[in-house]
Amino acid sequence: MSDNENDTVGSRRAFLSGAVAAGAGALTTSVAAAQTADPLITEIQPWAQEFGDGVDAARYGLPSEHEGDVIRRNVEWLTADTVSSINFTPIHALDGTITPQGCAFERHHSGAIDLKKDDYRLMIHGLVDTPLVFSYADLERFPRENHVYFCECAANTGMEWAGAQLNGAQFTHGMIHNMEYTGVPLRTLLEEAGFDTAGDLTGKWVYVEGADASSNGRSIPMEKALDDVLVAFKANGEALRKEHGYPVRLVVPGWEGNLWVKWIRRIEVTDGPVESREETSKYTDTLDDGTSRKWTWAMDAKSVVTSPSPQAPIKHGTGPLVITGLAWSGRGAINRVDVSKDGGKSWETARLAKPGEKMALTRFYLDTNWDGSEMMLQSRAMDDTGYVQPTKTQLREVRGLNSIYHNNCIQTWLVRSNGEAENVEVS
Amino acid sequence: PAFAGKIGLGRAALPAEIAAWDGDISPDGTGLPVGSGDALIGEEIFADKCAACHGDFAEGIGNWPKLAGGADTLNHDDPLKTVGSYWPHLTTAFDYIKRSMPYGNAGSLSDDEVYAIVAYILYSNDLIEDDFVLSNETFFDVEMPNAGGFIIDDRAETEYALWTGEPCMANCKDDVVVTMRALVLDVTPDQVEPA
């Protein structure tokens, strides 16, 4: 391609005008030759001559201003207001697996509250030997663990049950983040309060609620509470962000995000589930016959191609193309992701950037050579339980259209020959 | 573990502290406070504190939740899921309203006010007569229409067997046709451009 030397500066305009597609001809198999010298190389640039910022310029830095599109987005029409609402992680623009906290999605039911560590209290009571109150400082004195887990909203992809609706991976799959948490096992805190009163723990539950007005109370069976649930106070190395539960939240590996109670203030050991609003009216999944599933806690294996995608079109023309995306499973580790370019007629097994970790995001790549023809891109995750991510048709055959939650269907992006991509459904 | 047994952190919670925070009400009525109210009293409170969002008849305004209606719609397209048509337990309504409503002024209602509001919501759903007094004594006289409408997660039985094993890799279908397009709906927020 003769305009190769202008790729970085000219690609957006070229893409928008369709010039790239028009110029896409034979695949280049060797490096193209420049026709004229690149002034970015031959002329001394200001950044190579003058000073940059001093070390005092940003005491806590933000991303480069040139990354202004890598931000959380709200979809106004989804909810009545922004206080009990959702926003979306810009997964189309991220790579690797760790979600930067500053653009990791939020879901509140009565807003992101401001709760100081000094004002923080955590109560454990109910069927325990000694009901206890912990301060924040107390929590930091318990033995800690570190784990990376995804937090996926039960409603992620929920707007797509009835059809292809929102045009971008951020909007269809961005109710998710993946962080390295530091915290205390819930088991440790429960043991501190003592189990003799509860006796046989079989059939016992914990009810957890937040300090916010919505409370977000949820019931968790004791088996899970004692297994891998964390009471976390750090994420990605630093304190939780206010909007993610500062100073303390619950981390419930593999299970729907609603259970990850933020600003957690109370843990009650109970004989049975409370059947709170968030596990009856909400987070229950209505089937075709009008009955509804309750306690659908685990998030099943799922994946999405993050690039190319509607917000991340191909701007570089034909030739080498990195197809990449994320896969995850609430039941174990991802051990394989297949990618299709033809809407599921044929599949190639992608490369995992690292071996999948249990209940954490896994990055996959398919390095390919794009000839400029239309693609219908799909990805299909498999986890170490042998479960294969289903199509939307398969899900609908079991559940119908009204489940709202737990849509882990295979996503299709129609990539046109000009590189633009669209959210579609295919036969 | 480095510590065998208890570590000795925290302090005993006082009864008054537990009472202040322990507001949850179980489906069997555990936690339900003494009190009462009827739909006529509830109608006035509802008009004053709830109707601006939920409508005079609990029918909902705009995008705000509808609390009444939707009977027998759960197996339809776009079912209307309200306290009357969907919620399995009335305890959940009391618990949630008492703890988290009114939206923006949560926890401000007395127990009697909550009983009255719950009674008004039941009345709006045609589930009680207007002279029915809802109290901790009569609470379970009310039959919730969808009480039997829930099953425990059955994905292990209904789904996993269908979706395990080696998947198709080649010649999986003859034809692929685009059947739906998001751009036709055009409801996605505009792209943000980098600086």
Q: Are residues A151 and A100 in the same domain?
A: yes
Distance CA B47, CA A385 (A): 53
- What average pLDDT does this structure show over B142-152? 98
- Identify from A170, A267, A276, A278 which residue to disrupt to test chain B contact, counting B C-beta atoms within 10 A and taking the largest count: A276
- Any domain includes A43: no
- A124 & A220 share domain: yes
% of residues, chain A, pLDDT over 70 = 93
* Whether residues A275 and A138 fall in one domain: yes
The predicted-structure confidence for B38-53, as pLDDT tens digits, reads as follows 999 999 999 999 999 9
CB contact under 8 A, B92 and A289: no
Residue A58 is assigned to a structural domain of this protein: no
- Report which of A180, A154, A178 is spatially closest to residue A103, judged by C-alpha positions: A178
Residues of B in contact with A297 (CB under 8 A): 153
Nearest Cβ partner of A138 from B10, B177, B188?
B10
Residue A46 maps to a domain: no
When pLDDT is averaged across residues B169-192 and rounded to a whole number, the result is 92
A215 touches B at CB < 8 Å: yes
Touching check for A294 and chain B: CB below 8 Å? yes
Distance of alpha carbon A123 from alpha carbon B185, whole angstroms = 48
What is the CATH classification number for the domain harbouring A142?
A: 3.90.420.10
Residue A13 lies in a domain: no
A347 and B CB contact within 8 Å: yes
Please tell me whether residues A245 and A106 are part of one structural domain.
yes
Range of the domain at A223: 72-293
Instruction: Reply yes or no on whether the pLDDT at A285 is more than 90.
Output: yes
The reply to whether A64 falls in a domain is no
Residue A414 pLDDT: 98
Same domain for A128 and A209, yes or no, is yes
For A311, the 3-state DSSP assignment is coil
- Cα A184 to the center of its chain, rounded Å: 23
pLDDT in tens, B9-29: 999 999 999 999 999 999 999
* Cβ contact A138:A121 at 8 Å: no
Instruction: Based on the fold, state whether residues A289 and A334 are members of the same structural domain.
Output: no
Indicate the pLDDT class of residue A30, thresholds 50, 70 and 90: low
Instruction: Quote the pLDDT of residue B3.
Output: 53
pLDDT at A157 over 70: yes
Same domain, A335 and A376: yes
Q: Where is B45: in which H helix or E strand?
A: helix B39-49
Inside any domain, residue A154: yes
Residue A324 sits in a domain whose CATH number is 2.60.40.650
Three-class SS state of A167: coil
Please say which residue of A293, A320, A341 terminates a domain. Answer: A293
Per-residue pLDDT at A147? 98
Per-chain mean pLDDT for chain B: 95
Q: Rounded distance, CA A199 to CA A21, Å?
A: 70
Average pLDDT over residues A103-117: 97
A32 confidence band (pLDDT: 50, 70, 90): confident
3-state class of B139 per DSSP?
A: helix
> What integer pLDDT is reported at residue A33 of this predicted model?
85
B39: part of which helix (H) or strand (E)? helix B39-49
Give the three-class secondary structure for A309.
Answer: strand
Whole-number Å distance between alpha carbons of A397 and B147? 25
Predicted local confidence at residue A287, as pLDDT: 97
Choose one of A232, A264, A293: the last residue of a domain: A293
- Residues A132-158 have a mean pLDDT of 98
Output the pTM of the full model: 0.94
Residues A273 and A327 in one domain: no
CB of A393 within 8 Å of a chain B CB? The answer is: no
Return the pLDDT at A15: 44
Q: What is the pLDDT of residues A173-218, one digit of tens each?
A: 999 999 999 999 999 999 999 999 999 999 999 999 999 999 999 9
How many domains, chain A?
2
Shared-domain flag, residues A178 and A272: yes
pLDDT of A19 reads 42
For residue A330, being part of any structural domain is answered with yes
